[in-house]
Amino acid sequence: MKKLQKTLAVIFCTITISLTNYFTMKKLQKILAVIFCTITISLFAEAFAEEIPLKIDTDFPGGNIKVLGIDGDTVKLQQDLRDTAGSWFYWSFRIRGAEGRILNFVFTEGVIGARGPAVSTDGGLTWRWLGDLGFSATKFQYRFGTKEKEVFFSQGMSYTEKDLNRFLEKHKNNPNLKIETLCKTKKGRNVELLRIFDNKKTPDFKVFLSSRHHCAEMTATYSLEGIIETVLSDTDDGRWFREHVDFFIVPLVDKDGVEDGDQGKNRKPHDHNRDYIQRIHESVQAITEQVPKWLDDKPLFYLDMHCPWLRGGSNPPHIEKGTNEYVYFVGIDPKEFEFGENSWKGVQRFGTILEKERKGTIPYRALNNLPFGVSWNTSNNKKTANLQKCDEWGATLPNVVFASAIEIPFANAERVVVDTNSAKVLGHDLARAIRIYLETLE
Ligand SMILES: [Zn+2]
């Protein structure tokens, strides 16, 4: 392109010079000379202007990428695995200096989800999926607008501490919400603990909620926001929750991983969601110390929120084709836990309520819940006996009436779009189902 512009500039320059030879002769030639001169100057300016270099970086919360090379309009990339055992698929980067260009982004393996990359052109404030066109599991193409100076691309719709703070800011005057610190991380960050209760009342129930035991599973936190929105809302459900329930909520369990943009899943030697026996991670230590003291012999609803693998399996219940594109709850081993058998009954009862009460667009069917022993949910998944998941630990607590994990897909639930909005509305549906489940306990 630059070569063509340079050639054109030289041609126009020659014409201009030849016209100026007769400059004093005719009026029309004077006008033509001025026009050609103007075109020449602008062509030279464009042709020899410094090309803005592409700048790709991860210098923001949740950033994760390795740039392997830039060849013309093709950028070769790889997700940064860091301390992950095996491979995983999280990545997130910012690009500047690509205004007006069409670039191809090519990864070394399939790390692009069911609706392409998530894109943000407002500094990560809002996100959209690239859409049905222009991507595969390993590559995508993006046409940068002439004014798009800075574009963020990510495997999912990023959610870090700044997003949590923005959400909490909206509710800071709510007298029932207490923003506390669960603990400090290895790197000195605060792990937020949200408490919601009415200190003038004695609660009938305790509800524990968490997300980001696997730090890259951001969609789960949008749904968690949805639950909190309902609990704090001026609605019948909101008032019921504040009247009857005391909440203990840890939205970003692996806080360092969230902020640093780690994969989190299968972190060596083991990740946060396998840490409930060994307790090497600060937030797991804090949860296991503080939750038993908080319980106060009340019936406990215990839900840990996750996202599945990247893509595949939008035709439930054909689990042989994958379990990654629909919402489901995960059963714990009924033989290993005293509560196990009741836990599965509880999951199925909760599932029936959610299925009936659901108002949002994200589909849910109790039939999709994954009992222990099926698909990936087997004892092999834990690898060794001294590893325990968050929901399994929850199942060992006194007076537990529900203990499970939910899997919320990143982008696609039975062909319905999962995004920041629909995931939040799923949270509203979950909140309503929690209320009914607790109200109808036998
Ligand atoms: Zn997970």
Do residues 104 and 204 both lie within one domain?
A: no
Q: What is the pLDDT, as a whole number, of residue 21?
A: 63
- CA–centroid distance, residue 221 to ligand 1 (Å): 12
Q: What is the three-class DSSP state of 98?
A: coil
- CA–centroid distance, residue 170 to ligand 1 (Å): 28
Do residues 311 and 371 both lie within one domain?
A: yes
The rounded percent of the chain whose pLDDT value lies above 70 is 89
- CA–centroid distance, residue 216 to ligand 1 (Å): 8
Of 154, 173, 195, at which residue does a domain stop?
A: 154
Of 154, 175, 199, at which residue does a domain stop?
A: 154
CATH code at position 102: 2.60.40.3120
- CA–centroid distance, residue 149 to ligand 1 (Å): 34
Do residues 59 and 41 both lie within one domain?
A: no
Name the domain count of the chain. 3
Q: What is the three-class DSSP state of 216?
A: coil
Do residues 309 and 401 both lie within one domain?
A: yes
The domain containing residue 67 runs over which residues?
Answer: 55-154
Do residues 69 and 169 both lie within one domain?
A: no
- CA–centroid distance, residue 268 to ligand 1 (Å): 15
Residues 6+ apart with CB under 8 A from 246: 195, 196, 197, 203, 205, 206, 207, 294, 298
Do residues 254 and 108 both lie within one domain?
A: no
Q: Please say if the pLDDT value at position 426 is more than 50.
A: yes
Q: Please say if the pLDDT value at position 427 is more than 80.
A: yes
Q: Assign 4 a pLDDT band (cuts: 50, 70, 90).
A: low
pLDDT in tens, 320-334: 888 999 999 999 998
Do residues 115 and 218 both lie within one domain?
A: no
- CA–centroid distance, residue 75 to ligand 1 (Å): 30
CATH code at position 209: 3.40.630.10
Q: Assign 430 a pLDDT band (cuts: 50, 70, 90).
A: very high
Q: Please say if the pLDDT value at position 5 is more than 80.
A: no
d(CA 418, CA 409): 7
Cis peptide before 398 (omega within 30 of 0): no
Of 136, 154, 172, at which residue does a domain stop?
A: 154
In 3D space, the residue among 79, 100, 89 whose CA is nearest the CA of residue 142 turns out to be 100
- CA–centroid distance, residue 424 to ligand 1 (Å): 18
Do residues 319 and 370 both lie within one domain?
A: yes
136, two tokens: 């595969």
Q: Model pTM?
A: 0.89
pLDDT in tens, 57-84: 999 999 999 999 999 999 999 999 999 9
Q: What is the pLDDT, as a whole number, of residue 352?
A: 98
Residues 6+ apart with CB under 8 A from 394: 208, 300, 302, 304, 400, 403
Q: What is the pLDDT, as a whole number, of residue 129?
A: 97
Do residues 333 and 380 both lie within one domain?
A: yes
Do residues 143 and 253 both lie within one domain?
A: no
Please compute the mean of the pLDDT values over residues 16-20 and round it to a whole number: 60
Q: Assign 338 a pLDDT band (cuts: 50, 70, 90).
A: confident
Q: What is the pLDDT, as a whole number, of residue 321?
A: 82
Q: Please say if the pLDDT value at position 49 is more than 90.
A: no
Do residues 289 and 411 both lie within one domain?
A: yes
- CA–centroid distance, residue 425 to ligand 1 (Å): 20
Q: Please say if the pLDDT value at position 172 is more than 90.
A: yes
Do residues 64 and 198 both lie within one domain?
A: no
